[in-house]
Chains A and B, each alone.
Chain A
Amino acid sequence: MIDFINYLLGGVGSGAIIALMALALVLTWRATRVVNFAQVGQAMFTTFIALSIQTATGNWFVALVGAMVAGAVLGVFVQYLVLRPVSRMDTSGAIIATFGVLIALQAAAGMIWGGDSQAFPQPFNNSAITLFGQEWPLSIYDLVVISLAALMVVGLTLLFTRTSLGLAMRATAFNPEVARLSGIRVSRTLTVGWALAGVVGGVAGVLVAPTSTISPNSFDILLVFAFTAAVIGGLDSLVGAVAMGVGTGLIISLVSGYSDSSNAPVVALVLLAVTLLLKPEGMFGHTKARSV
């Protein structure tokens, strides 16, 4: 039982990161009905930028802000140059284009920072907290990760529910034509959605990097986890992405704890397959997985 609780708590930190990445996927899906498979590529790229800033300044917060800014810029760049012209075409084309961006970003990162795995310095104490005379499977760093993720979720919720920009984004996601007729500048709203996704993905990248290493394709597995979480959550539900992101993190932590961490990708695959088989619209979503 104590094992179970330990594994569960250990999964909250990684779950929060998966939730953020899933959130980024959902943001772009809501904005443009495109699953941005290049999202982890963008996150990887901005995390490398953050690593460079961290190395230069030694300040983790500056690096984090740098990653957020770079994420927004890169998100706008990708949406403006690639997805906006493609979105008028077939869905196959848009999906293939995002993979093209992913390949190009990974290669560019390899050119600039090299293909080897690099350590991202641990900004906070990463050893287990001792409380009430007992060690807990959480570190200060985990708490930072969880609070930052929670902060982002709260911020996004406020943005979507309390601001006119959020209202415009919701309206655009609901029906772009009607939104345009109501005077919303739809294309600008879509771009904002991509920028936001870039920021969220950038934060996720910076948060996940110190827990392992960073290399041009070290985030591939995160893409699988995040996509799984986003689909289980319903793909157009922010709440669903966060809840299922944390849930996926917990399940992976439990499986890794009781068996072996190399099972994680297979578990994610099974979760994804079962969800798509039984409830393709996800737990929180309204999007139909099949149009016929």
Chain B
Amino acid sequence: MAELMRKPGARLLLHLAIVVAVFVLMMVVNDHVDPLMNYYIALAAMYATAMFGMVILVGLSGQVSLGNGALMAIGGYIFALTSMNWQTVPILGLPWNGWWSMVFAGIGGIVFGLLIGGLGARLTGPYLAGLTLGIAVGIPAIANRFPALFGGENGLTLTVPYPEGGYAAVDAGTDYVDPSLAASSAPVASAFPSQAASVAPGDLLTASNFPSAGPSVAPSVAPGDLLTASNFPSPGASSGAGDLLTASNFPSAGASSGDLLTASNFPSPGVSASAVPDLGGTDVSGGTGDNGFVIEHWQASLAVLVACIVAFMALNLVRGRQGNVWRAVRDDPVAAAVSGISPSTAKVTAFVISSLFAALAGGVFAQILAYVGPGAFGLGLSLSLLVGVVLGGRSSLFGAVIGAVLLVWLPEFVLNLSNDRGWSEQITNNAPNLIYGLLVVLVVLVAPGGIVGSVQSLIAKVTKR
């Protein structure tokens, strides 16, 4: 077995098998949990996507960087701007869909990774951390500087390309339709053909352009109706349950110290959408079936799919030759250079890869929240990525997954605890970050390998005896 694993082809297949197995498992899980859990899975998968890059950058190549939140901003804004402005893909002339925006977000990530990496690879330790700290604070500030393009402090709300339009090119059907409803959801396709032709891909299924495909289709329950610019609550309005993502309830850079983006302070469609009709039970085709479209389910499917693609790339890099190159440069740059490895090339490569992953995570972020804004991508996001990676295990991809789950789970846990004990909002909002901060210090002091590293060394101790 070990012999077999040395062959690159076999390793590739193994990694593919792992990732596909995880993807299928998550899809099954997705189908059997409620929308709120779907939403948490989507968030955790998004964090994990970005944190795979942090594992490579911080864990393997030993460069402590805080810039990845800002790189997520780049991916998110590219996704938002391209999805808002493009009907067709420039130069290629193909009809636009969400995947194109993801591709361009990824390209943007690579370009910025080269820029930052080119500068950062010359630096070590605190200098690099300080520079990337400046990036984490400086890049979101650019959004404030050009409000016409980036929407300023309020950010941009975008029309998410839900599968009927933007992602139609990829057969996402099985991704978002609950299999149990698959038979009855067939009418969805037949109910929508006219609008697929008449509505431009960019602005699909909004309240205003929703054609009355069937007599009983109420525009107010159309999938696209939730999160469009036209019916989006304005930032100043203090409406009730509908105000998912206004400036006032969105964590902004200067708002509070509960500023790490966590599930509890994340405005969640699943949590706050009590006034929004349950799409899962919506009658679409004259009372004979459900369309089965649950936004959170689709969000989770998308985020898990992207996370799995990224995980496949990361697995091959980390467990292949490139991983050894990074470890060699981290442990002893001089020895690595003597062995014919270029430390600066290895460091820049780590930056580019982690930027690509962060930008893709940013693209997923934009679609989950239908919003991008400077406050969402502030220093808090970068810090929470660092927290997750350190707690899970700095140089373990599996640790990144655990860290991502922890980032989503702990705030929920604290919230539940707080509801039981009757803690004040002030305490509840800040308790997760206090725990994160103390845990980070504790992990660095007593278990630098994080959760995964500790378990590994424990297993090693037990099996030796």
User: Which residues of A line the B interface, CB within 8 A?
Assistant: 29, 34-35, 37, 82, 85-86, 89-97, 99-111, 114-117, 215-218, 220-221, 223-224, 227-228, 231, 260, 262-266, 268-269, 272-273, 276-277, 280, 289-292
- Distance to closest chain A CB from B215 (angstroms): 50
Given A228-B134, A231-B130, are A104 and B257 also a contact pair (CB < 8 Å)? no
**B433 touching A266 by the CB < 8 A rule?**
no
**A111 touching B133 by the CB < 8 A rule?**
no
Q: Which of B141, B437, B448 contacts A103 (CB 8 A)?
A: B437
Contacts of A100 in B (CB 8 A): 387, 390, 436-441, 444
16 CB contacts below 8 A, A to B, read: A37-B133, A82-B441, A97-B441, A100-B387, A100-B439, A104-B440, A107-B430, A111-B434, A215-B255, A220-B253, A263-B141, A266-B145, A269-B134, A280-B127, A289-B122, A291-B124
**B257 touching A109 by the CB < 8 A rule?**
yes
Binary CB contact string for chain B from 118 to 142 against chain A (1 if under 8 A, 0 otherwise): 0100111111011101110110011
**A110 touching B429 by the CB < 8 A rule?**
yes
With A227-B133, A265-B138, A269-B135 already in contact, 7 other A-B pairs whose C-beta atoms are closer than 8 Å: A89-B444, A104-B434, A107-B257, A115-B255, A116-B256, A217-B253, A269-B137
- Distance to closest chain A CB from B344 (angstroms): 9
Q: Which of A91, A107, A215, A292 contacts B343 (CB 8 A)?
A: A292
A289 to B, closest residue via Cβ: B127
- Interface of A, secondary structure class, is helix
Q: Which of B122, B130, B256 contacts A110 (CB 8 A)?
A: B256
**B437 touching A95 by the CB < 8 A rule?**
no
Contacts of A272 in B (CB 8 A): 130-131, 134
**A105 touching B127 by the CB < 8 A rule?**
no
- Distance to closest chain A CB from B57 (angstroms): 11
Q: Is B91's beta carbon under 8 Å from chain A?
A: no
**A269 touching B138 by the CB < 8 A rule?**
yes
**A110 touching B127 by the CB < 8 A rule?**
no
**A217 touching B379 by the CB < 8 A rule?**
yes
B125 to A, closest residue via Cβ: A91
Q: Which of A37, A117, A221 contacts B137 (CB 8 A)?
A: A221
Q: Is B401's beta carbon under 8 Å from chain A?
A: no
Contacts of B303 in A (CB 8 A): none
CA distance A95 to B253 in the complex (A): 22
Given A35-B126, A111-B431, are A103 and B387 also a contact pair (CB < 8 Å)? yes
- Interface of B, secondary structure class, is helix
A263 to B, closest residue via Cβ: B145
Q: Is B254's beta carbon under 8 Å from chain A?
A: yes
B389 to A, closest residue via Cβ: A96
Q: Which of B135, B258, B432, B437 contacts A115 (CB 8 A)?
A: B258
The 4 closest A-B pairs by CB, nearest first: A115-B256, A104-B437, A216-B257, A100-B440
CA distance A100 to B131 in the complex (A): 18
- Distance to closest chain B CB from A286 (angstroms): 14
Q: Is B333's beta carbon under 8 Å from chain A?
A: yes
**A268 touching B438 by the CB < 8 A rule?**
no
**B62 touching A218 by the CB < 8 A rule?**
no
Given A221-B137, A269-B135, are A103 and B436 also a contact pair (CB < 8 Å)? yes
Contacts of B135 in A (CB 8 A): 269
- Distance to closest chain A CB from B385 (angstroms): 11
Binary CB contact string for chain B from 134 to 161 against chain A (1 if under 8 A, 0 otherwise): 1101100110110000000000000000
A271 to B, closest residue via Cβ: B134
**A111 touching B440 by the CB < 8 A rule?**
no
* Docked complex: B186-208 residues within 8 A CB-CB of A: none
